[in-house]
Amino acid sequence: MKVMHLISGGETGGSKTHVLSLVKELQKSTDVTLMCLMAGAFYREGQAMGLDIRTLRQEKRYQLHAVRELCRLLVQGGYTLLHCHGPRANFIGALVKKFYRIPTLTTIHSDFLRDFAHNFYKNKVYTTLNTWALKTFDGYLAVSEDFKEMLVARGFPAEKITVIYNGLDFAAPLKTVTRAEFCRKYNLSLPEKAKVVGMLARLHPIKGHEVFLEGARLIAEAVPGVHFLVGGDGAEREKLLALRDKLGLKDIVHFAGHVSEPLAFMQAIDINALTSYSESFPFVLLEGALLRKPTVSSEVGGIAKLITHEKTGMLFPPGDAAAFAAHTVTLLRDNALAKEMGEKLYHHAKANFSLAALADVHLQVYEQYAKGR
């Protein structure tokens, strides 16, 4: 069996981690190529990992010469299956099916009707194209049960949807990074001894950073000396910096920008936070679990599969800054409880969400579609 993964190559955050780590694990047991529609940081990281990663050099988002070239590569390479990730790859993959008969799968990493909701033009054009493209696929891999239910509610056949939760390599060696080293790299001034609440997520409205900042104001009132670290970049940066300053948090809320090493970020914080309005099964919580970080998260998507409230972490309703703050204050004030929850989260994640298990389920699905399901 020979599988090609197709992705735009501009991904960051959880989807980037998912695809790169999955392909690396799959390469241990099958012939897999990762094809990017553009060269960039994603492509270079894949090269550094030793992946069979290539690029079609599609300069503009929907240049259709990529379809012809991809068909040629699929035929010449004798590929068994095409697995797409993201709107851009979905569109190209859907067009490929019109010219070349090959089983196609796509992973649903996010709510596709909300991916471009912040931009009127992109929402009208890209969401429409992606929705059309998705209808053409032979099978769907949803990264949470909630996402499967979402797809079924929108008319996708339940029998074509497989739920596969994200996984992380808990056996990989960990590079130790001190807080001081992290701060030097990102030009930050976090006090070495301060308690730090961190959130690592692209600066996008769906991530609810305003909830994090409103909560930070309440937390700082209850726990003097606490600091906050925001990792990630995006179009919302200036808006969020302005909100931070308006709330009087300029001295204690630090923006790191794009973080290339998520596990280094996790080592610089004491509590891992996520305030999203919508998620699938976020890698950032698995990365925090690997470092045994006590976690406070909005209860969306498949997060409750990882975090049981008041056992392996704290959950709050999306948008509820007061609840986010209250749970975080509890953990900041009770070191023993915070440590206990971090340990329980680590053991639960390690037992149930490994990278090896993620790859095994993918291989089973590939075999089904290669044989015509």
Spatial contact of 266 and 294, defined as CB atoms under 8 Å apart: no
Cα separation, 212 vs 243, in Å, equals: 11
Query: For the chain, what's the residue count?
Result: 373
What confidence score (pLDDT) does residue 63 get?
Answer: 63
If you average pLDDT over residues 2-27, what whole number do you get?
92
**Residue 87: how many CB atoms within 10 A of its CB?**
23
If DSSP states are collapsed to H, E and C, what string results for the chain?
CEEEEEECCCCCHHHHHHHHHHHHHHCCCCEEEEEECCCCHHHHHHHHCCCCEEECCCCCCCCCHHHHHHHHHHHHHCCCEEEEECHHHHHHHHHHHHHCCCCEEEEECCCCCCCCCCCHHHHHHHHHHHHHHHCCCCEEEECCHHHHHHHHHCCCCHHHEEECCCCECCCCCCCCCCHHHHHHHHCCCCCCCCCEEEEECCCCHHHCHHHHHHHHHHHHHHCCCCEEEEECCCCCHHHHHHHHHHCCCCCCEEEEECCCCHHHHHHCCCEEEECCCCCCCCHHHHHHHHCCCCEEEECCCCHHHHCCECCCEEEECCCCHHHHHHHHHHHHHCHHHHHHHHHHHHHHHHHHCEHHHHHHHHHHHHHHHHCCC
**Residue 85: how many CB atoms within 10 A of its CB?**
25
Look at 104-113, 211-220, 256-265, 267-276 and tell me which has the smallest mean pLDDT.
104-113
**Residue 338: how many CB atoms within 10 A of its CB?**
22
**Confidence label for 110 from pLDDT (cuts 50, 70 and 90):** confident
pLDDT per residue as tens digits for the range 199-232: 999 999 999 999 999 999 999 999 999 999 999 9
Look at 14-18, 56-60, 147-151, 259-263 and tell me which has the smallest mean pLDDT.
56-60
Domain residue spans of the chain: 2-167+354-370, 179-352
At residue 46, does pLDDT exceed 80?
Answer: yes
What confidence score (pLDDT) does residue 58 get?
Answer: 63
What confidence score (pLDDT) does residue 156 get?
Answer: 97
Whether CATH 3.40.50.2000 fits 179-352: yes
Cα separation, 235 vs 229, in Å, equals: 18
**Which residue has better confidence, 287 or 11?**
287
**Confidence label for 122 from pLDDT (cuts 50, 70 and 90):** confident
pLDDT per residue as tens digits for the range 226-240: 999 999 999 999 999
At residue 170, does pLDDT exceed 90?
Answer: yes
Spatial contact of 25 and 355, defined as CB atoms under 8 Å apart: yes
If you average pLDDT over residues 268-290, what whole number do you get?
96
**Which residue has better confidence, 357 or 105?**
105
pLDDT per residue as tens digits for the range 72-97: 999 999 999 999 999 999 999 999 99
Mean pLDDT of the chain: 94
What confidence score (pLDDT) does residue 284 get?
Answer: 96
pLDDT above 70 as % of the chain:
98
**Confidence label for 371 from pLDDT (cuts 50, 70 and 90):** confident
What confidence score (pLDDT) does residue 336 get?
Answer: 99
Place of tokens 């390599």: 169
Spatial contact of 43 and 63, defined as CB atoms under 8 Å apart: no
**Confidence label for 28 from pLDDT (cuts 50, 70 and 90):** very high
From residue 248, alpha-carbon distances to 14, 189, 191, 336 in Å are: 31, 17, 18, 31
Cα separation, 234 vs 28, in Å, equals: 34
Give the CA count within 13 Å in the CB-facing half-sphere of 134: 27
From residue 267, alpha-carbon distances to 197, 226, 278, 289, 337 in Å are: 11, 16, 25, 11, 19
**Confidence label for 276 from pLDDT (cuts 50, 70 and 90):** very high
pTM of the model: 0.85
First to last CA, the chain: 15
pLDDT per residue as tens digits for the range 292-333: 999 999 999 899 999 999 999 999 999 999 999 999 999 999
What confidence score (pLDDT) does residue 124 get?
Answer: 82
Q: CATH assignment of 2-167+354-370, given 3.40.50.920, 2.60.120.10, 3.40.50.2000, 3.40.50.2300?
A: 3.40.50.2000
At residue 61, does pLDDT exceed 60?
Answer: no
What confidence score (pLDDT) does residue 214 get?
Answer: 99
Is there a shared CATH topology between the 2-167+354-370 domain and the 179-352 domain?
A: yes
At residue 373, does pLDDT exceed 70?
Answer: no
Cα separation, 188 vs 194, in Å, equals: 13
